[in-house]
Structure 1
Amino acid sequence: MRQVLFGLCAALIVGAAGPAMAQSVRVDRITVHSQALDGNLEGNTAERSVTVYLPPDYDSNSQKRYPVLYALHGYSINNDIWSKEIKAPETIDSAYAAGVKGMIVVLPNSQTRHNGSMYSSSATTGDFEGFIATDLVAYIDSHYRTLAQRESRGLAGHSMGGYGTVRIGMKHPEVFSALYAMSPCCLSARGAPSPEEGLKLEALKTPEEAQALGFFVRATLAVSSAWSPNPNKPPFYLDLPTKDGVAQPDVLARWAANAPLSMVHQYIPNMRRYTAIAFDVGDRDGLKTDTEALSAALTTYKVANSFELYDGDHVSGVADRFQNHVLPFFAKHLAFVPVGQ
């Protein structure tokens, strides 16, 4: 009798576990070569690591095609750390279990020698706009069962990734149809560092020395590589924002040209092409004012968008936001069938 009860319990456990296990996403870790990054002066690899999360039914339903969400990481991290920050795949599994439609979620690595590409196009860092909007999309479309149409592609990101979402989104509405910027950085024109920090950067002799710099000082080097490249200035191939500790207006003007609050006025026709645009930011995040200002600028031009202020700082609740806000947003606004059907 005891053996019968044991066998019955075991069968029930296996039966209950089977469907739960079947609902887990599949994780692919791949490498994508980007022609857009070939030959960059900084020596950043054109072989980019990418994490791909496939819906639970991807392998069991071989005829089905899926929309794709491209999710961009922030400064000083890569796709592996980004996965941990959003607690993937657990958050993706939980979103699907709650009824969110399954999609392919793609996390590319855009880390550079100085820890961040700014998702910009630069002879020094490489063309990371092209990597995301052209090379990566083409690879995913050719290697996975995607709905290869703009209506079925979304772009999202946090912090520097939020900046990349806005920047690339402004320029490539022919590729993406919905945008979600989480606590986007760098929206307004960036000023020069302090004279002390400027002198510290000017004193660097080799890129290897830069690895010992603090977070914000090194970020200035990353910004310089992306927004004020100079192929005639080895070994860094960039123009710094100071000289002898004094701010250089011409360099700062080049930086300002990359600030979305300045850029947005040139790209309103492009932004009008999006099905949906969303911003969120914590109420204790120093990026709150700029994020709200960008949303307001779009609203001034009657470009539909949503802005949400939530209880938190720059890094709190990112996984919760991704699971309960970002994924449902794209499930609502991306096309899950070929356009025209």
Structure 2
Amino acid sequence: MKKNATLLLFSLCLLSFYSQSQGRLERKEMKAVSLENNPAGESANRMVSVYLPPGYDKSGTRYPVIYFLHGFSTSDTDITGWFQLQKMMDSAIAAGQTRPVIVVVPNSDTKYRGSFYTNSAVGNWADFITKDLVNWVDQQYRTLPSASNRAITGHSMGGNGSLKLAMQNPQVFSMVYALSPAVLNWHGDFNLNNPAFKRLSKLQADSKLKNAVDSIYKEDNWQSFYSGVYAAMGIAYSPDPTRKSFPVLLPVTYIGDSAVYHPERIKKWEDNFPYFMIERHLAELRKLKAIKLDWGRNEDFAHIPVTALAFSKKLEAYGIEHEAEEYIGDHGNRIGGFQGRFFTEVLPFFERNWSQKQ
């Protein structure tokens, strides 16, 4: 009897220790005031995945927060599954890769499969992150509610967004790490002569068009993918709310097979490219405590290595302290999981640069 009681007590102790060494992943819905009544008809009710570190439920401790922005045509649950986020964060904390932190992954997916984390006449997606989401997280969870205890990161479109939002909002985030940041500037596969613009121009001219999204993604191929990217960028950078099915002023349109370039629209796009934003945000960039970006040598998207390096060189030319790294990998094979860059590079980078006083 005494032996059984001892074994039971030992089992309960092990169970208690195991439960305390595990974090928790939850998914909640929030109301984004910045997205209410937007002309694009996007829902203001947004889902948010949140990782809470071991011991969160039993302590009164406040924690730093890492915000992760997902890429084009993905969502928060794609990231948490791909990264094995709960197990990975539990292991990273146990191994000392990072102190206990909260990780927040908002769903910024849209009808056009990407918000590009930008404010426009048809939806304030930057404000959703920097105002609505940050305020909601600080109210819902025991955070350390200051810029010095907030970091932002993201992959691809999210890498672009993390650089953009960090340089615009040093009063909200103190650190940024961009993973394979996409469309920082024109180059290679990302250019004004891409056939996707011709396809979109024809779709827009189709008076019978009722559902632009379905038309864009009618075929599952690279042409459809680039058409979707350009459509989403147009919604973010050069929208036209008066158009119902496809509310975009394209930077390139076509009359038959002849391209017509629209300089004022092209400038609107370039004003939103992080590469061209640097000059306008030098003071803000200098306020950031830590900046890093990286990219794979064998990128699937040819523009990323070239434009990421150019972005880094421009920061260097202006004397903006930062880190930049090329590694052997492609667009996604070295990002998630225990061998991925988030685990091996992003978390240690933030850990080295967090405020030491908690």
Shift of 1:74: 0.2
* 1:227 alignment partner, one of 237, 246, 250: 237
Distance 2:296 2:9 in 1: 47
Distance 1:328 1:220 in 2: 34
Shift of 1:310: 1.4
Shift of 1:254: 1.6
Structure 1 residues 126-154: Cα deviation after superposition (integer angstroms, max 9, x where no partner):
11100001110011111111111110010
Q: Residue in 1 aligned with 2:277?
A: 263
Q: Does 1:197 align with 2:213?
A: no
Report which stretch shifted further, 83-92 or 261-270: 83-92
Distance 2:47 2:356 in 1: 27
What amino acid is the match of 2:274? P
Whether contact under 8 Å (2:63, 2:100) holds in the other structure is yes
Distance 1:227 1:59 in 2: 42
SS in 1 for 2:241: coil
Q: Does 1:249 align with 2:255?
A: no
Q: Does 1:110 align with 2:114?
A: no
Shift of 1:94: 1.4
Shift of 1:175: 0.6
Distance 1:277 1:57 in 2: 30
Q: Does 1:51 align with 2:57?
A: no
Structure 1 residues 44-76: Cα deviation after superposition (integer angstroms, max 9, x where no partner):
1111100010111211212x1111111000000
The RMSD of aligned alpha carbons is 2.3
Whether contact under 8 Å (1:71, 1:105) holds in the other structure is yes
Report which stretch shifted further, 329-338 or 83-92: 329-338
Q: Residue in 2 aligned with 1:295?
A: 312
* 1:79 alignment partner, one of 76, 79, 91: 76
What amino acid is the match of 2:266? L
Q: Does 1:147 align with 2:147?
A: no
Counterparts in 2 of 1:225 and 1:75: CA distance versus 1, 3 Å: same
What TM-score, normalized by structure 2, do the two folds share?
A: 0.87
Distance 1:336 1:24 in 2: 24
Whether contact under 8 Å (2:198, 2:253) holds in the other structure is no
Whether contact under 8 Å (1:51, 1:106) holds in the other structure is yes
Equivalent runs, 1:181-196 vs 2, <5 Å:
181-189=178-186, 191-192=191-192, 193-194=194-195, 196=198
Shift of 1:11: 7.2
Structure 1 residues 198-221: Cα deviation after superposition (integer angstroms, max 9, x where no partner):
444335512343342522211111
SS in 2 for 1:70: strand
Distance 2:355 2:230 in 1: 39
Distance 2:12 2:92 in 1: 23
Shift of 1:247: 3.7
Distance 1:200 1:142 in 2: 47
Structure 1 residues 75-132: Cα deviation after superposition (integer angstroms, max 9, x where no partner):
00110112122221121111112112011100000001100001011122x1110000
Shift of 1:236: 1.9
Distance 2:291 2:356 in 1: 18
Percent of matched pairs sharing the same residue: 33
Shift of 1:260: 1.1
Shift of 1:25: 1.1
Whether contact under 8 Å (2:68, 2:103) holds in the other structure is yes
What amino acid is the match of 2:91? S
Counterparts in 2 of 1:313 and 1:17: CA distance versus 1, 3 Å: farther
Shift of 1:252: 2.1
Whether contact under 8 Å (2:198, 2:254) holds in the other structure is no
Structure 1 residues 151-201: Cα deviation after superposition (integer angstroms, max 9, x where no partner):
001010000000000111111011110000000001003532326434443
Distance 2:113 2:33 in 1: 20
Q: Residue in 2 aligned with 1:329?
A: 349
Q: Residue in 2 aligned with 1:309?
A: 326
Shift of 1:293: 1.4
Shift of 1:10: 8.1
Counterparts in 2 of 1:216 and 1:145: CA distance versus 1, 3 Å: same
Report which stretch shifted further, 174-183 or 187-196: 187-196
Whether contact under 8 Å (2:294, 2:327) holds in the other structure is yes
Counterparts in 2 of 1:122 and 1:56: CA distance versus 1, 3 Å: same
Distance 2:109 2:260 in 1: 27
Distance 2:172 2:134 in 1: 8
What amino acid is the match of 1:305? H
Q: Does 1:236 align with 2:246?
A: yes
Shift of 1:13: 6.6
SS in 1 for 2:85: coil
Shift of 1:307: 0.9
SS in 1 for 2:148: helix
